[in-house]
């Protein structure tokens, strides 16, 4: 069950692939099917359920492409 | 008598500059006058890039080409930027893999080449520029394919020599795309 | 959906524009840390940033605070002019290793010497990015650049300068630290250092400089991830991370 | 405050304070040292900024920063120091910032000497930095005029958002004369400085100070905007003085302290029955071309007198375009011409054209 | 070695090597980076000196030292970098040292842009440094001419013991053209360098390299000695080309790459029945005033075309002193005019004066 | 009379002219040490000295070797130009604390950074002598100068720079020592240091800088002896004497 | 009407500059136009120094005095350098303590004052300049001694005030030296 | 008995008085009776017999005014 999720601003993504290496649950990858307005291949999440909202991906993204949200209900279980 | 003014335009990274240089080298090999001039957009990275190539048996004056004989267009913004400059009855080569759904002006000879698609089929998307070059040479006959291959052989030495084959294929496919 | 909390988003100290950096260049990461620090310390609305000359020359368009674009190397002098006239402003420069370490070393040293109450964000990527990859004073021995095509040699160009170490000897400087942004842990550490520097300025406690180990994937000729790994393997051993001067805590290191 | 006897450098310093100068940045160099020395004492006492910078390069960039933050800023130096500031000056002009720069000229080129000179005329009027820009450049001939012009120069700089250069020589810097610091000077019609980047976001939206325009169309527009300023200076703010010109048969063209020596020379000439006028440029940029249109018809010969090898001749040629005979007398290297030498030069010019 | 296709910056670098350049000192700046990059590889390979200096200021002072030790030295930069070198340049001129400086001009003022420009005309021809000195300044229009002139410039610098400036723009720096590197260039009549301070006391008595003359009489004499050189340049070494001037009814005045565009323009004009010549200054200092005396009588109108706001106009005015109507067409900020724009400017000028 | 041996005389590396220095100024003592070192190491006839801008600007007339006069602060760059072109020459610069410490700090640092095989004679008299006594970067706190008329304060001008310490952090530098000439014993020590520096150059072992604590009796407003005593009592405590870097012996201090 | 042009010349350190300044201050106090201009020799230390002083009820033009009305000469080299400039019938004041055995030109009024000797007798060799000043004032009557003392009182405040007495004495002795 | 002696180049002396403080046998002093060509009071030796030829005075003189000679006979006694 996902602890949160990330929102990708695809148009800002430069497809640099940096963030993908830092996701502890390995759910990030470039979306080879897409090309954004600037000609880059943007990021996508392969398995959103696994996201732990750790923000590592977002921290490493030079272009502030990624917003990270934590699901609050989860907190109550804690 | 050769007297060709050409503008090649696209994104940085599409090999636009190299295409122009190859033509200038071919001219130099034949002791024909030539001038190559690059122009980069205000964005250093990933912006637009274009170059002007003049090949002439007379002496070359202005490096700036205001009315090109031919135009090789590698991406959408470049078409908008340059097509109106093209001489009446000039040749317009368009990479239709990336340039779609754009109105094209009248009064010029249009050649549509899905260069990226062809290049991908050849197994190396980077040779899209050579596909366009093949088409350009086939139509204008400014130089033969051999002239270009000769330059490539001079430049691609060592490891890079292995790339000549695919470039040759790309030239061929480009030629085919406009002669079929 | 309503039960979510945003835990990471683009800083409001950054404009909503495309950054001019190449894909995966860590200049962008460092920008975020500057932006977040200004917001978190509540000093954004009195900040003036100084863009220098390098790949970051255009960052006057990226930060939402007041900005001045300085001549190559002279950002600390420009900052001095602003800060002396407006002592309550928060002034930072953002400079590369060519800008600060080469042409501008005098201005950096003398801003520290006078104890100017400002913060220098120093981005060491061991190369001149903007101009296409020439040798910088911090280029490592053996590193190939367009002006050291066979790799930098000591005989021709000397041993790379260590800026944090050099600046730490200046009696007027308050805080000097070298950090890296090669993984999330170090990003967090780097941010802590930068916030500390800005806090020192906020408290009018003087000059601070944070040196960031950064990458230049394009001119190093590597993918962004490879570049980050190269920095860890090659730069950090020569440019050790850590606090080089902390006047407020007595001199460390 | 009546007239005060002061050394030129100190009087110029005090004039800056009276002109509302908020900040001074500079580096020592002879023959202008008394100026920063005076300010080191009196700026701080007045709650203003004084910084002795590490170099001229740093000084001019501090000027850029403070001016960009809205200050009225001064820097001063002498010839080689001004040469070092050229990059900074072109940045200030490019970013459209107001600033006042005093050049107390000494002999050149290179390290040269430390005696008075006007050898930087071209450096000042043609811009030693890159690109299309000019400095509004004033060349006072006395301490009173220097004081009045410096006070006003802060207004002019603010009005045009462009650096103003005060071009004097070691004579003006080192001499003492009584000066009245309370002369009223022209107030220019100034707009509020809503463009400053000073971090005070409570009072204005984000501002950027910049001279970089990567898009050529933007840079062209910027250049044309700057050119308008220079055209306006030329059209509306040429300054000059016509001395003893009514019945003149010949005229001297001289600026700054050279024109003072010329004043003595024309008295001596009068004793010899020669009526000689002086056309004295006060602005050396914009060059007072208008003055030349006002020359009496009788005046066919112009004797340019300078403490250099003839740098102003170009401007006199451009202003006259062949309508007058142009003669030159100059001393260089820190040698100040005596009035008698100028007398001889005028007589010689007169003789030549009467031949 | 036949013709080689090379980028301008690289061709200029190789030309320097062919011209006997012993040492290069420089700092990176767009759009001339390929020049030092090429030399970083090829100078050392040839046992010569290449140093990437810490700044332009350091570079020009390294030039001073090496030139003072007898080397043929080169430095290159672009507009703001040249502004920074002004103090060093005036020292080199003051100490009478030979050196070659290449300025690949870009748009200004300040940081400006990185596209081609001719905006440093005044910085180059009027000297941005202090004091009375000038640079022998060459403005080639093609790579072949650039290569030939650079090869010769080391001779000229040695002959005059004065810096030589090669003034080109980003167009020349970035374009590729086939070049023959083996053109014979003029050999100047050079004396042995017995004045060098290189520590080699086995071959000469003590020498001093210096620009400081504290005694004004000494400095005056020094200035007059320098002036003689500049007068000699003016009298004997103006260079220019008259293009299509025989039957011209109007003429363009243009230097460097602008004159190439003008060449295309006059072909277009001919198609329209207008016979237009080009007066192309090759030396911009000394300005080829002699060329203007050679203009056909029919030419009454001169159209100055530059990539700046009109900096050469002054020189054209001085050269003509009212004998011609002077028109101007310029583009700025990195925008290169097209031949058609020049055609229109010529037609307009012709129209105006026919009105 | 015939039975005498000269044990001290004017060095033949000094011209027989009047030195332009004020009476009792220790610039003259330092000149003698330079001259004697050149003679004793037998390198006078391949030496080039670089005069800087300061009271010593005219010393191209004092030394008997080839001389070049450099722009203010740029002597190390001029020296680089000479040395690179003539690697077998012996090149030294002679620079004041304004010249080297203020306007010329970048050139000094980068000559060291590149490891130029040259020797810098750095004369620290805590003031700008030539221009009439303005504050230098090495002016002590409380010291009155014409631009710190109430005495230098940290708030206005920062803490004095320590050049030897700063230069010692530069990886490219080989030998850095601070000496004084306030009594015969220290004069001898100073000469040893300077000779060592020149020897390193002679052996092509790289960059050396010797910082001399010197006096300015005129602008300090003291007799020459009082000035020497003032230097001992005030300067040496802040600028401790000693070897700051000796690459050949491993890093000391 | 006062219209005096004076050159004072000597070694650096002889108080030459101060003498000239005192006269200019006195003029300013009386609202008379004045201009003082210093000139140092090429040697910074221990070289020659001189200053030009113009005092005039008309406006002052050239700061450079080519034909002085008076000349105060404090040392030997200065006599040689300046005496020929002196106006015909001008006043030449010579410090004969330091200027001996030198030919003096004709056509001028010469006043010989052993200023250093007088000053030493007064117990302060430094006031030799004020001895010369006393002589100068006594002869030219440009200002009274009181005018100068007033300036001294304005300038010598605090500790220095104690020096006014000896300066007054020096002025007196100088005056005596030329009026006896 | 003097071990040596010093020779003073009076015209070069600037009368700065620095050397006198370093003579271990206190035999140096300025000669108030004299003024040299440049107007300075030059150095003199008050008691030449005491000179031990230590060179301290010469070392401290900024203007190379002093030459020091050692009497060689003395060495033979040693
Ligand atoms: C006076 C001057 N010299 C040189 C340049 C050219 N220049 C622009 S950026 C740069 C180097 C930038 O390198 P660095 O500071 O390391 O920044 P990076 O691009 O690596 O982030 C240079 C030399 C300039 N603009 N101005
Ligand atoms: C570019 C430039 N700036 C300033 C000066 C003026 N100047 C001459 S000497 C000097 C300071 C010298 O001080 P320092 O280097 O300490 O030498 P010192 O006279 O104390 O021996 C200055 C600022 C100059 N000649 N050139
Ligand atoms: S927030 Fe963490 S878990 Fe989620 S995608 Fe990013 S890195 Fe992976
Ligand atoms: S989200 Fe950011 S880090 Fe990830 S690929 Fe896109 S630009 Fe790169
Ligand atoms: S050139 Fe290098 S430093 Fe500059 S933006 Fe690109 S990757 Fe980053
Ligand atoms: S001013 Fe000072 S440093 Fe210069 S010579 Fe005189 S005493 Fe020495
Ligand atoms: S040599 Fe020694 S003993 Fe002799 S006078 Fe000099 S200091 Fe005194
Ligand atoms: S001998 Fe030298 S140290 Fe002694 S007083 Fe004379 S100048 Fe000074
Ligand atoms: Mg960098
Ligand atoms: Mg000093």
What residues make up the domain containing E252? Answer: 241-352
Domains and CATH numbers, chain C: 27-252 (3.40.50.970)
The four Cα atoms G92, G94, G100, G106 give a dihedral, to 10 degrees, of 10
**Strand E208-209 to F66-69 pairing:** parallel
Interface mutation target, options B46, B99, B100, chain A, most CBs of A under 10 Å = B46
E354 — pLDDT class (breaks 50, 70, 90) = low
Q: Is A25 in the pocket of ligand 3 (CB under 6 A)?
A: yes
Q: Are residues D209 and D337 in the same domain?
A: no
The predicted pLDDT at position G40 comes to 74
Which segments of C191-241 are extended strands (E)?
207-213
Mean pLDDT of each 10-residue bin along chain C, 253 residues long = 86 96 97 98 98 97 98 98 98 98 98 98 98 97 98 97 98 98 98 98 98 97 98 98 93 44
A77 — pLDDT class (breaks 50, 70, 90) = very low
In the E/F pair of chains, how many CB contacts fall below 8 A?
145
Q: Which CA distances in Å does E37 have to C143, E9, E31, E244, F145?
A: 15, 9, 12, 39, 47
Residue of F20, F130, F218 lying closest to G43 (CB–CB) = F20
| Comparison of pLDDT for B49 and F168, the residue scoring more | F168
Q: Is A68 in the pocket of ligand 3 (CB under 6 A)?
A: yes
Residue of E91, E132, E218 lying closest to D119 (CB–CB) = E132
Q: Give me the DSSP letters along F98-122.
A: IIIIIITHHHHHHHHHTT-S-EEEE
Residue C98 C-alpha from the chain's centroid: 12
Please report, for chain G, the start and end positions of each structural domain, with discontinuous segments joined by +: 3-177
Interface mutation target, options C16, C47, C57, C77, chain D, most CBs of D under 10 Å = C77
Q: Are residues E48 and E157 in the same domain?
A: yes
Dihedral sign (CA F151, F155, F157, F158)? positive
- Tally of domains in chain D: 2
Question: In CATH, what number is assigned to the domain containing residue D57?
Answer: 3.40.50.970
Mean pLDDT within G10-16: 88
In the F/H pair of chains, how many CB contacts fall below 8 A?
86
> Touching check for C114 and chain F: CB below 8 Å?
yes
* CA F52 – ligand 2 centroid, Å: 8
Region at F159 (left for phi over 0; alpha for psi -120 to 50; beta for the rest): beta
Mean pLDDT within G118-146: 95
> What residues are paired with F232 via a beta bridge?
none
Select G3-177's CATH number: 2.40.30.10, 3.40.50.1370, 3.40.920.10, 3.40.50.2300. Answer: 3.40.920.10
Q: Are residues E141 and E167 in the same domain?
A: yes
* Set of chain A residues whose Cβ sits within 8 Å of the Cβ of C29: 59-62
Compute the distance between CA of residue E23 and CA of residue E47 in angstroms, rounded to an integer. Answer: 10
Q: Are residues D310 and D228 in the same domain?
A: no
Domain boundary among E236, E255, E278: E236
> Touching check for F72 and chain C: CB below 8 Å?
no
Rounded to 5°, the CA angle B167-B169-B172 comes to: 110
Which segments of chain A are extended strands (E)?
4-8, 28-30, 43-45, 66-71
Tokens of D238: 């040429």
Express each pLDDT in D128-150 by its tens digit.
899 999 999 999 999 999 999 99
Nearest CA to ligand 1 atom 13: C128
Domain boundary among E191, E208, E236: E236
Express each pLDDT in D226-242 by its tens digit.
999 999 999 999 999 99
The predicted pLDDT at position G125 comes to 87
Q: Are residues D276 and D322 in the same domain?
A: yes
Q: Are residues D126 and D249 in the same domain?
A: no
Nearest CA to ligand 5 atom 5: C21
Q: Are residues D204 and D320 in the same domain?
A: no
Q: Are residues E127 and E63 in the same domain?
A: yes
Q: Are residues D218 and D291 in the same domain?
A: no
Q: Are residues E229 and E274 in the same domain?
A: no
The predicted pLDDT at position H34 comes to 86
Q: Are residues E199 and E60 in the same domain?
A: yes
| pTM of the predicted model over 0.90 | yes
Nearest CA to ligand 6 atom 5: F21
Q: Give me the DSSP letters along E263-279.
A: HHHHHHHHHTT--EEEE
The rounded percent of chain D whose pLDDT value lies above 70 is 99
The predicted pLDDT at position A21 comes to 98
Asked if G44 lies within 8 A of F218 by C-beta distance, the reply is no
Express each pLDDT in E317-350 by its tens digit.
999 999 999 999 999 999 999 999 999 999 999 9
Helices E56-68 and E86-94 cross at an angle (nearest 10°) of 10
E152 — pLDDT class (breaks 50, 70, 90) = very high
Asked if F158 lies within 8 A of C172 by C-beta distance, the reply is yes
Q: Is F55 in the pocket of ligand 2 (CB under 6 A)?
A: yes
Mean pLDDT within D239-256: 98
Q: Are residues D259 and D300 in the same domain?
A: yes
Model ipTM value: 0.97
Tokens of C244: 């080089």
H77 — pLDDT class (breaks 50, 70, 90) = very low
Q: Is A51 in the pocket of ligand 3 (CB under 6 A)?
A: yes
**pLDDT at residue D74 is higher than 70:** yes
Interface mutation target, options E91, E94, E223, chain D, most CBs of D under 10 Å = E223
Identify the segments of chain F with pLDDT beneath 70. Answer: 1-2, 250-253
The predicted pLDDT at position E4 comes to 96
**pLDDT at residue E1 is higher than 80:** no
**pLDDT at residue D1 is higher than 80:** no
The predicted pLDDT at position D243 comes to 98
E46 vs chain D: nearest CA distance in angstroms? Answer: 33
> What residues are paired with E329 via a beta bridge?
E305
Domain boundary among D207, D236, D265: D236
Please confirm whether the linkage preceding C112 is cis (ω < 30° from 0): no
* CA F123 – ligand 10 centroid, Å: 7
Q: Give me the DSSP letters along B85-121.
A: GSPTT-EEEEETTT--S----SSSEEEEE-HHHHHHH
The predicted pLDDT at position F251 comes to 47
Compute the distance between CA of residue G85 and CA of residue F192 in angstroms, rounded to an integer. Answer: 55
**Strand E276-281 to E240-243 pairing:** antiparallel
């Amino acid at each position: 069950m996902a602890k949160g999720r990330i929102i990708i601003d695809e148009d800002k993504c430069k497809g640099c692939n940096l963030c993908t290496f830092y996701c502890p649950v390995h759910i990030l990858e470039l979306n080879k099917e897409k090309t954004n307005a600037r000609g880059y291949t943007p990021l996508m999440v392969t398995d959103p359920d696994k996201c732990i909202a750790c923000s590592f991906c977002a921290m490493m993204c030079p272009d502030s492409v990624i917003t990270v949200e934590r699901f609050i209900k989860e907190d109550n279980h804690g | 008598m050769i007297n060709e003014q050409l503008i090649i335009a696209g994104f940085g990274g599409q090999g636009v500059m190299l295409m122009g240089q190859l033509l200038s080298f071919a001219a130099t090999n034949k002791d024909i006058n030539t001038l190559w001039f690059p122009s980069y957009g205000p964005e250093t990275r990933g912006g637009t890039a274009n170059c002007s190539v003049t090949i002439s048996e007379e002496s070359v004056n202005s490096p700036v080409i205001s009315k090109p004989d031919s135009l090789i267009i590698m991406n959408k913004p470049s078409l908008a930027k340059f097509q109106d400059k093209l001489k009446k009855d000039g040749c317009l080569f368009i990479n239709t893999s990336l340039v779609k759904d754009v109105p094209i002006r009248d009064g010029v000879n249009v050649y549509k080449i899905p260069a990226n698609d062809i290049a991908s089929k050849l197994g190396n998307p980077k040779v899209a520029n050579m596909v366009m070059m093949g088409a350009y040479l086939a139509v204008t006959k400014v130089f033969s394919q051999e002239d270009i291959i000769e330059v490539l052989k001079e430049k691609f030495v060592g490891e890079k020599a292995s790339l000549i084959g695919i470039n040759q294929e790309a030239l061929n496919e480009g030629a085919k795309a406009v002669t079929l | 959906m309503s039960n979510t909390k945003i835990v990471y988003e683009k800083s409001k100290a950054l404009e909503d524009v495309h950054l001019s950096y190449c894909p995966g260049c860590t200049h962008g990461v460092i920008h975020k840390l500057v932006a977040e620090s200004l917001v978190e310390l509540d000093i954004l609305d009195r900040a003036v940033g100084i863009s220098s000359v390098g790949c970051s020359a255009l960052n006057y368009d990226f930060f939402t605070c007041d900005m001045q674009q300085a001549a190559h190397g002279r950002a600390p002098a420009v900052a001095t002019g602003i800060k002396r006239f407006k002592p309550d402003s928060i002034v930072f420069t953002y400079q590369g290793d060519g800008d600060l370490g080469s042409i501008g070393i005098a201005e950096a040293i003398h801003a520290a010497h006078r104890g100017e109450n400002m913060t220098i964000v120093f981005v060491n990527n061991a190369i001149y990015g903007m101009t296409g990859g020439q040798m910088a004073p911090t280029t490592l021995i053996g590193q190939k650049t367009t002006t050291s095509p066979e790799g930098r040699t000591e005989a021709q160009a000397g041993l790379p300068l260590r800026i944090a170490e050099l600046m730490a000897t200046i009696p007027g400087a308050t805080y000097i630290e070298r950090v890296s942004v090669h993984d999330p842990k170090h990003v967090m550490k780097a941010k802590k250092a930068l916030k500390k520097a800005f806090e020192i300025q906020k408290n009018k406690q003087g000059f601070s400089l944070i040196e960031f180990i950064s990458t230049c994937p394009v001119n190093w000729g590597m993918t962004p991830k490879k570049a980050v790994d190269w920095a860890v393997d090659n730069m950090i051993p020569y440019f050790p991370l850590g606090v080089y001067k902390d006047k407020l805590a007595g001199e460390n290191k | 405050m009546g007239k005060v006897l002061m050394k030129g450098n100190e009087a110029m310093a005090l004039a800056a304070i009276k002109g509302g100068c908020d900040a001074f940045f500079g580096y020592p160099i002879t023959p202008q040292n008394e100026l920063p020395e005076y300010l080191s004492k009196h700026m701080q006492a007045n709650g203003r900024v004084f910084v002795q910078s590490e170099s001229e390069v740093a000084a001019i960039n501090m000027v850029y920063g403070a001016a960009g933050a809205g200050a009225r800023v001064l820097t001063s130096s002498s010839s080689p120091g001004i040469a070092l500031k050229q990059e900074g000056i072109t940045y200030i002009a490019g970013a459209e910032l107001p600033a006042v720069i005093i050049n107390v000229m000494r002999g050149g080129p290179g390290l040269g000497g430390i005696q008075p000179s006007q050898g930087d005329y071209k450096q000042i009027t043609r811009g030693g930095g890159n690109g299309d820009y000019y400095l509004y450049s004033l060349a006072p001939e006395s301490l009173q005029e220097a004081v009045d012009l410096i006070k006003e120069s802060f207004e002019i700089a603010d009005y045009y958002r462009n650096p103003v250069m005060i071009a004097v020589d070691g004579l003006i810097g080192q001499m003492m004369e009584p000066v009245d610091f309370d002369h009223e000077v022209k107030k220019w019609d100034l707009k509020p400085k809503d463009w400053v980047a000073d971090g005070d976001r409570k009072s204005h939206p984000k501002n950027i100070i910049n001279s970089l325009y990567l898009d050529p169309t933007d840079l062209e527009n910027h250049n044309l905007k700057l050119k308008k300023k220079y055209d306006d200076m030329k059209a509306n703010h040429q300054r000059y003085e016509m001395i003893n010109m009514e019945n003149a048969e010949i005229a001297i063209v001289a600026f700054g302290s050279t024109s003072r020596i010329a004043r003595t020379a024309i008295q001596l000439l009068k004793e010899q029955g020669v009526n000689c006028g002086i056309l004295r440029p006060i602005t050396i940029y914009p060059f007072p071309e208008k003055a030349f249109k006002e020359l009496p018809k009788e005046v066919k010969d112009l004797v340019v007198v300078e403490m250099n090898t003839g740098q102003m001749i170009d401007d006199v040629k451009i202003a006259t375009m062949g309508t007058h005979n142009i003669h030159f007398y100059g001393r260089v290297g820190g040698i100040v011409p005596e009035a008698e030498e100028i007398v001889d030069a005028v007589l010689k010019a007169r003789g030549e054209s009467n031949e």
